[in-house]
Structure 1
Amino acid sequence: MSWRVCAGLVALAVLLVPAFVIAPRPLAASISGGGFDDRGELVDSFSESFVAYWRSGERNFSPDLERIADYWSHYHAVKAVIAALLLIVFIALGVLLWKAFLQAGGLGAGSRAALASAGAVVTALALFALAAVMANVQGATAPFSSLLPMLPIHASHGELADTLHQVGQGLADYPDGTGDRTPSALEAMVGDFARYHAVIAVAGTVVAVVLAGMCVASWRRSARTGVSDGRTRRVFRSFGIVSGLLSAAVVVVAVANTATTADPAPALLAFFEGGW
C-alpha cells in the first residue's frame, strides 16, 4: 500500500470533517445574499415568516420566506458537496486498506488486525458520509419541509399556535371534505412535503440497487477464490453479507418514503400534531 497516498487521504478527511460543520453557514450566506447569526435567529425568522405565509393565502412564498428557504437550500447544498467529497475519500481509503489487508501475508497478526480494524472503521465512515449526502440532497431539494422541524410545535403560543392549529385542521380534511377550496398555501406545503420524501425514495432505490450489486459481486468473488485463500474468502463473504443487509434496510426506507410521497398529508398532519 502507498502509505503516502493513504496519509494524504487521511489528511484530506481531517480537513473535510470540520469543514462539513463550519463552512456551510458562511458559504450559504454568501451565495444567498444573507444569513443568520445562530440557530435561534433562524428559528424565530422562520416562525414569523411561516405565520405570515399562511395568513397571506398565497401559494408562492413571501419574500422573507423565500429568502430563508433559499439560504437553507444553499446550506444543505454545501453540506451535500462536502459529504460527497468525504464519501469519495473514505471509499478510496477503504479500498487501499482492504487491499493492504488481503496482501498482508508477510505481516504479523497485530498488523493484520490493525489493517482490518482500520478498514472496518473507514467503511462505517463511508456509510455515514453516504447517509449525509442523501439527507442534505433532500434538504437542498425541499428546503421548506426541511425547515419545518424548527417550528416550536410543543412550545408554540400566540399567532404561531393559532396558525399551527389551522394548518392541522386543514390537513385533517385534506384535500378538503367540506367542499370548500383547499388553501393554496396548504397545497404548496403538501406538495413540498411529497417532494421531500420523493428525494429519499429515489436516492434510496439507487443506493439499494448499488448495494445489491455489491452483494452479488462479493459473493461471486468469494466463490471464485480458492479454498487456500481463506482471508480473501472471509472478507468478500463479509462484504456480501453486510451489503445485502444494508440493501434490505435501504429498501424498507425507500418503500416507506414512496408511500409517504404518494399520500403525504397524513404524515404532515402527524408532524403538526407533534407525532413526527
Structure 2
Amino acid sequence: MNRSTAPPRPAGVSGGAIATLGALAAALGAAFVLAPPALAADATSGDLADQRRLTDALRAAFVDYWRSGDREFSPALERVVDYWFRFHLVKAAIAAVLLIVLIAAGVRLWTAFVRAGGLGAARRATLASAGVVVALLVPFSLAMVMANIQGAVAPYASLLPMLTDGATESATVEALTQIRQQLADSGRNGGRTGAAVEVMISDFARYHAVMAVIAAVVAVALVVLAVGLWKRAGRTDSSDRRARRVLRSFGVLAALSSLPVILVLVANTLTAEDPAPALLAFFEGGW
C-alpha cells in the first residue's frame, strides 16, 4: 500500500517564522498609523493627540509668537513643537522596527523560494508573490524612517504645512501674508527679515540638510548592497540558476533604488544651501 507524503519543506526555512514575521509586520503597520499620537502625548499635551486640536493650538500659538517679535519660542509654541518632536520620534522608531521585520521576512521568503525546487509550482508562486510584496514594502518603510527622523530633528519646519493648509482664521492669514512679504522683500532687495522669519529659515535649512545627510547614507548603503549582491551571485554555483537570478535581481533593484535617493540628496542639499527662496515658494503654494 502506497503512502502519500507531503512535499519537503525547504531546508532551513520555517513557515511558522515567516507567519510570525508577517503578523508582526501587520501589527507594526497598524501601530505606525494609530499609536504615535497617544504615545507622544504627556501630561501637558494630551489634547494635542487630536489632529484638529493640534492644528488649532499650533495656529493660536504661532500667531502670538509672531506678534511678540521674539526669537525664542513662546511656551505655547514650545509645547506644540515638543509634542511634534516626540510624535516623529515614535513614528521613526516604529518604522525602523517594521523595516527590520520586513527585511527579515523578505530574506526568509526568498530563501524559501530559492530552495523550493521540491515544491509545486503553486507553492513557489506563492512564495515569490509574497516576496515581491515584502520587497515593495521595504522601500516604503525606509522612506518612513527617513522622513520621521527628518521631522524629529526639525519639528518646527515639519509643522509648517499644518500652519498653512486650509488656514482661514484672519489672524493666521495675516501672519502668513506678512511672512510672504518679508521673504519676498528679502529675495528682491536683500532686506532684513524679522527674528521669527530668521528662525523659520534656519529650521527650514536644517530640515533639508538632515534629509540630505540621511539620503547620502542610504544611497551609499544601497550601492554597497548592490555591489555585494552582484558579487555574491558571481560566487554562487552556476548550477543554482534560481539563486543567481534572485541575487542579481535584487542587486539591480538596489542600484536602481539608489537613483531617486541621490536625487533627494541633491535637491535637499541645494535647498539647505539657499533655503529662503524655497521657503517663499512653500508659503506661496508652489513648492
Q: Give the letter for the 2:221 counterpart.
A: V
User: Matched residues in 1 for 2:46 and 2:214: separation?
Assistant: 30
The runs of at least 4 consecutive aligned structure 1 residues that moved more than 6 Å come to: none
Q: Report if aligned partners of 2:89, 2:148 keep a CA contact under 8 Å in 1.
A: yes
Q: Give the letter for the 1:224 counterpart.
A: R
Q: Give the letter for the 2:242 counterpart.
A: R
Q: Report if aligned partners of 1:208, 1:250 keep a CA contact under 8 Å in 2.
A: yes
Deviation (angstroms), 1:160: 1.5
Q: Report if aligned partners of 1:76, 1:137 keep a CA contact under 8 Å in 2.
A: yes
Q: Report if aligned partners of 1:139, 1:196 keep a CA contact under 8 Å in 2.
A: yes
Equivalence for 1:46 = 58
Residues 84-106 of structure 1: CA distance to partner in whole angstroms, max 9, x if unpaired?
11011111111111111111111
Alignment of 1:138-177 (within 5 A): 138-153=150-165, 155-174=167-186, 177=189
Q: Report if aligned partners of 1:170, 1:176 keep a CA contact under 8 Å in 2.
A: no
- Report SS of the residue matched to 2:117: coil
Pairing 1:255–2:266 present: yes
Q: Report if aligned partners of 1:215, 1:240 keep a CA contact under 8 Å in 2.
A: yes
- Report SS of the residue matched to 2:94: helix
- Report SS of the residue matched to 1:30: coil
TM-score normalised over the length of structure 1: 0.94
Equivalence for 1:97 = 109
Q: Report if aligned partners of 1:101, 1:116 keep a CA contact under 8 Å in 2.
A: yes
- Give the alignment's Cα RMSD to 1 decimal: 1.8
Q: Give the letter for the 1:11 counterpart.
A: A
Equivalence for 1:237 = 248
Aligned pair partner of 1:6 in 14, 18, 21: 18
Residues 209-247 of structure 1: CA distance to partner in whole angstroms, max 9, x if unpaired?
010011111211222234322211211121111111111
User: Matched residues in 1 for 2:43 and 2:75: separation?
Assistant: 17
Residues 115-139 of structure 1: CA distance to partner in whole angstroms, max 9, x if unpaired?
1111111121121111111111111
Higher Rg of the two aligned structures: 2
146-155 vs 201-210, which deviates more? 146-155
Q: Report the number of matched residues.
A: 275
Deviation (angstroms), 1:38: 2.2
User: Matched residues in 1 for 2:44 and 2:108: separation?
Assistant: 39
Equivalence for 2:98 = 86
User: Matched residues in 2 for 1:36 and 1:163: separation?
Assistant: 22
- Report SS of the residue matched to 1:274: coil
User: Matched residues in 2 for 1:112 and 1:62: separation?
Assistant: 60
Pairing 1:59–2:80 present: no
Aligned pair partner of 1:123 in 109, 117, 135: 135
Q: Give the letter for the 1:75 counterpart.
A: F
User: Matched residues in 2 for 1:141 and 1:55: separation?
Assistant: 26
Equivalence for 1:23 = 35
Q: Give the letter for the 1:132 counterpart.
A: M
Q: Report if aligned partners of 1:31, 1:74 keep a CA contact under 8 Å in 2.
A: no
Deviation (angstroms), 1:75: 0.7
122-131 vs 3-12, which deviates more? 3-12
Deviation (angstroms), 1:37: 5.1
Q: Report if aligned partners of 1:59, 1:188 keep a CA contact under 8 Å in 2.
A: yes
Equivalence for 1:222 = 233
Unpaired segments ≥5 residues, structure 1 = none
TM-score normalised over the length of structure 2: 0.90
Identity of paired residues, percent?
56
